[in-house]
Amino acid sequence: MTKGCSILYSFLVLVSLLLPILRVCNASDRWNLTIWCSRTPNPRICESCVQLIYPDKFSLEQFQQGTMILAIQEAVNATKIVWKNVHNLKTEREKTRWKSCGNHIDATIHDLATAISADSDDGRQDPLNKALASVAECYKESVRGKSKENRLGVISSHLYKLVENAIAVNNSTIALLMKVERKLSGKQENGCKETSRHFKNISQQQGTAPSISPLGEGTYPIRASSTGAQIKIVVAKDGSGDLETIKAALDTAQSRAGGRFLIHLKKGIYNEYVVIPSHLKDVRMIGDGIGKTIITGNKHSGHNGIDTYTSATFAVEASGFIAEGITFRNTAGRHGGQAVALRSHSDHSAFYKCSFESYQDTLFLFPGRHFFRDCDIYGSMDMICGDSTAVFQNCNIFLRKHTGDDVVITAQKRSGRDGGSGFVIQNSRVVLTEELRPLGGERVFLGRPWGKFSRTVFMKTYLEGISKQGWREMHENRDGDLVYYAEFENTGPGADTSGRIKWRGVRVIDEKEASEFTVGRFLHGRSWLPATGIPYDSDL
């Protein structure tokens, strides 16, 4: 059975089980469809589609769940169409785009299932935001092509609107009224919690697996990690470990029954393109230190059908990934265009004492919570980009010379006003490399808005060589009034904010507002970072 058909079958079965349960949940407190759909960005689609699954009256709880069901049904139909047609395309370029779109929609299905299975409104927001970002990537593939690829645009555009509606419903007064309703009724959760259990069973794994071998003697300290059984394996290029390639180690991880999979990468240069698939959760990789354990590649956009997404040397699609003491490198060079060193869709992902090296789009981060501590990041244009919720703490950001005149650190892609994503650079250093220093900092910028509601915060960070303007426009988005670009107690020659660009969204914030972007509040780090064993500052 093909990948698309397998996903289609699984979710059609699950949705068929889900609908009858929803119909009997909370049959009281009926509300007008037009009123509630008016709270969404796409009210007409909301009304016409919700009526398909609820021809009669329905409750608030059913309406909220229904918007997610509609999105997942549309995603299932979309993945069926994509994987059915991909083999009929004539050129490799078209096939690559359709396959990429198919992978994004498959990720959307997974994230929507996670959202439906969440026990709280807050727990739905991250997976819904991830789903929206994946659909946006599919749409981006469609607008690059012609002819049949326009069909991708129709598919992804409609799916995008359905996911967008689901996000709005979960963020709006609807969710608030549901919480009030539960309190008044004296219930923490109502009968619709049953719907979650069907989806939770999708990816649950039980049991533990025996250790393969003890970790070898490395020069990098092995830190304490999360609870649960650990499978330990050593990878060494010189043959002194259990295996010689990262791919072989991940193939071994596929057969584990549960627990965190711990891989020690001994020093060496690993010329591999690595993908950690979404089902391979809780992988921890520990190298022998920056510049000692190196994972490298040289793919870049525009070469042999490769785009930004597929240019990544190392890609993480599974949650709970942790890396320590590793250099992730893309050697395409400053003339290579978009060349990603690390692409991550992971949630609850942490990187400690790692290095990321490229020029354009060094870090491509999709929705999910990412934490970077004591890391080095090298780049020149949009070096930290994407739609994730990420905090960079005690990091060094090294600015390289770009092929053009401008150097830009961030390109954050929050596309909705209610989106929870954003980049936070805290207690870090932004410095010019020697190749850039002679040119000065007049064309060096903190960021530009990839998404209309782009959000980036620099706080308590040393800034060298930043232009007086500070921020600049992006060709896809020239409206800077909707962004949230903030600075708080930065230092250094680039920290003067008096000459910043006059956008309503650009601001200097006080301590109270800055505290909303700490690890503790913005990443909810206290709930998951202690288990990683990685040091962090929860507050300012």
What pLDDT was estimated at residue 129? 79
Strands (E), 366-483: 369-373, 376-379, 381-386, 389-393, 396-399, 407-412, 422-426, 429-432, 444-447, 455-459, 462-463
Q: Write down which residue in 177, 210, 242 finishes a domain.
A: 177
What pLDDT was estimated at residue 289? 96
pLDDT per residue over 426-438, tens digit each? 999 999 998 888 7
pLDDT per residue over 58-76, tens digit each? 777 778 788 888 888 888 8
Mind telling me the catalytic residues?
A: 361, 382
pLDDT band at 80 (very low <50, low <70, confident <90, very high): confident
User: Rounded CA gap, 8 and 73, in Å?
Assistant: 9
Spell out the long-range contacts of 298-306 with Cβ–Cβ below 8 A and sequence spacing 24 or more. 298/330, 298/331, 298/332, 298/336, 298/339, 299/273, 299/330, 299/332, 299/339, 300/330, 300/332, 300/336, 300/337, 300/338, 300/339, 301/336, 301/337, 301/338, 301/339, 302/337, 303/336, 305/92, 305/93, 305/96
Residues 316, 346 contacting (CB under 8 angstroms) = yes
Residues 112, 134 contacting (CB under 8 angstroms) = no
User: Rounded CA gap, 329 and 316, in Å?
Assistant: 15
What pLDDT was estimated at residue 476? 59
Is residue 196 in a domain? Answer: no
Structural domain count, the chain: 2
- Both tokens assigned to 537: 């500052």
- Both tokens assigned to 533: 């064993």
Q: Which domain holds residue 419?
A: 231-532
What pLDDT was estimated at residue 86? 78
Q: Does 406 share its domain with 527?
A: yes
What pLDDT was estimated at residue 363? 97
Could you tell me which residue, 356 or 336, shows the higher pLDDT? Answer: 356
What pLDDT was estimated at residue 199? 36
Could you tell me which residue, 88 or 203, shows the higher pLDDT? Answer: 88
Whether pLDDT at 457 is above 60: yes
Least confident of 79-88, 215-224, 448-457, 512-521: 215-224
User: Which of 193-197, 387-391, 414-418 has the largest mean confidence?
Assistant: 387-391
Tell me what the pLDDT averaged over the chain comes to: 79
Residues 358, 334 contacting (CB under 8 angstroms) = no
Q: In what order do the strands lie in the sheet with 293-297?
A: 268-270, 293-297, 327-330, 355-357, 376-379, 396-399, 429-432, 462-463
User: Rounded CA gap, 419 and 417, in Å?
Assistant: 6
pTM (predicted TM-score): 0.71
pLDDT per residue over 83-94, tens digit each? 888 777 777 777
Q: Does 168 share its domain with 235?
A: no
Could you tell me which residue, 93 or 470, shows the higher pLDDT? Answer: 470
pLDDT band at 217 (very low <50, low <70, confident <90, very high): very low
Whether pLDDT at 499 is above 80: yes
Q: DSSP secondary-structure letter at 504? A: T
What pLDDT was estimated at residue 167? 83
Percent of the chain's residues with pLDDT above 70: 77
In a 10 Å sphere around its CB, with 0-12 CB exposed, 13-18 middle and 19+ buried, how is residue 224 labelled? exposed
Q: Does 154 share its domain with 270?
A: no
Arithmetic mean of pLDDT, 342-352: 93
Whether pLDDT at 220 is above 50: no
What pLDDT was estimated at residue 142? 61
Arithmetic mean of pLDDT, 280-291: 94
User: Which are the contacts of 139, defined by CB distance < 8 A and separation ≥ 6?
Assistant: 152, 153, 156, 157, 160
Cβ count within 10 A of residue 93: 15
Is residue 17 in a domain? Answer: no
What pLDDT was estimated at residue 205? 33
Is residue 486 in a domain? Answer: yes
Domain harbouring 67, CATH code: 1.20.140.40
pLDDT per residue over 20-40, tens digit each? 433 333 433 345 677 778 778
| Nearest Cα residue to 460 out of 485, 429, 432 | 429
Q: Does 172 share its domain with 243?
A: no
What pLDDT was estimated at residue 234? 94
Arithmetic mean of pLDDT, 499-517: 95
Q: Hunting for tokens 């949230």 — which residue is that? A: 484
Whether pLDDT at 240 is above 60: yes
Beta bridge partners of 411: 385
pLDDT per residue over 374-402, tens digit each? 999 999 999 999 999 999 999 999 999 88
Max Cα distance, the chain (Å): 70
Could you tell me which residue, 416 or 509, shows the higher pLDDT? Answer: 509
Is residue 159 in a domain? Answer: yes
What pLDDT was estimated at residue 537? 94
Whether pLDDT at 517 is above 70: yes
Phi-psi bin for 380: left (phi > 0), alpha (psi -120 to 50), beta?
Answer: alpha
What pLDDT was estimated at residue 213? 31
Could you tell me which residue, 11 or 134, shows the higher pLDDT? Answer: 134
Q: Does 165 share its domain with 242?
A: no
Query: Three-state DSSP class for 365?
Result: strand
Is residue 190 in a domain? Answer: no
Residue 500: what are its φ and ψ, rounded to 5°? Answer: -65, 150
Cβ count within 10 A of residue 62: 23
Q: Does 381 share its domain with 300?
A: yes
What pLDDT was estimated at residue 267? 96
What pLDDT was estimated at residue 176? 52
Could you tell me which residue, 386 or 97, shows the higher pLDDT? Answer: 386
User: Rounded CA gap, 13 and 29, in Å?
Assistant: 29
Q: Write down which residue in 177, 211, 244 finishes a domain.
A: 177
Q: Does 167 share its domain with 282?
A: no
pLDDT per residue over 157-186, tens digit each? 888 888 888 888 877 555 555 554 444 444
Whether pLDDT at 45 is above 70: yes
Q: Does 150 share its domain with 238?
A: no
Domain harbouring 511, CATH code: 2.160.20.10
pLDDT per residue over 109-132, tens digit each? 888 888 888 776 667 777 887 788
Could you tell me which residue, 166 or 149, shows the higher pLDDT? Answer: 166
Q: Does 249 share its domain with 139?
A: no
DSSP codes joined into one string, 45-56: HHHHHHHHH-SS
What pLDDT was estimated at residue 55? 67
Measured on CA atoms in the order 242, 246, 252, 257, is the torsion positive or negative? positive
Is residue 59 in a domain? Answer: yes
Length of the chain: 540
In a 10 Å sphere around its CB, with 0-12 CB exposed, 13-18 middle and 19+ buried, how is residue 263 labelled? buried
Q: Write down which residue in 115, 146, 177 finishes a domain.
A: 177
Measuring CA to CA, how many Å separate 369 from each of 6, 88, 294, 361, 411? 29, 38, 24, 19, 17
User: Rounded CA gap, 354 and 97, in Å?
Assistant: 31
Beta bridge partners of 456: 423, 485
pLDDT per residue over 256-280, tens digit each? 656 688 999 999 999 999 999 888 8
Q: Does 339 share its domain with 482?
A: yes
Q: Does 239 share its domain with 99?
A: no
What pLDDT was estimated at residue 286? 95
What pLDDT was estimated at residue 175? 53
Is residue 156 in a domain? Answer: yes
Is residue 213 in a domain? Answer: no
User: Rounded CA gap, 188 and 282, in Å?
Assistant: 30
Residues 374, 418 contacting (CB under 8 angstroms) = no
Q: Does 314 share its domain with 381?
A: yes
Arithmetic mean of pLDDT, 370-377: 97
Arithmetic mean of pLDDT, 339-343: 96
pLDDT band at 134 (very low <50, low <70, confident <90, very high): confident
Could you tell me which residue, 146 or 468, shows the higher pLDDT? Answer: 468
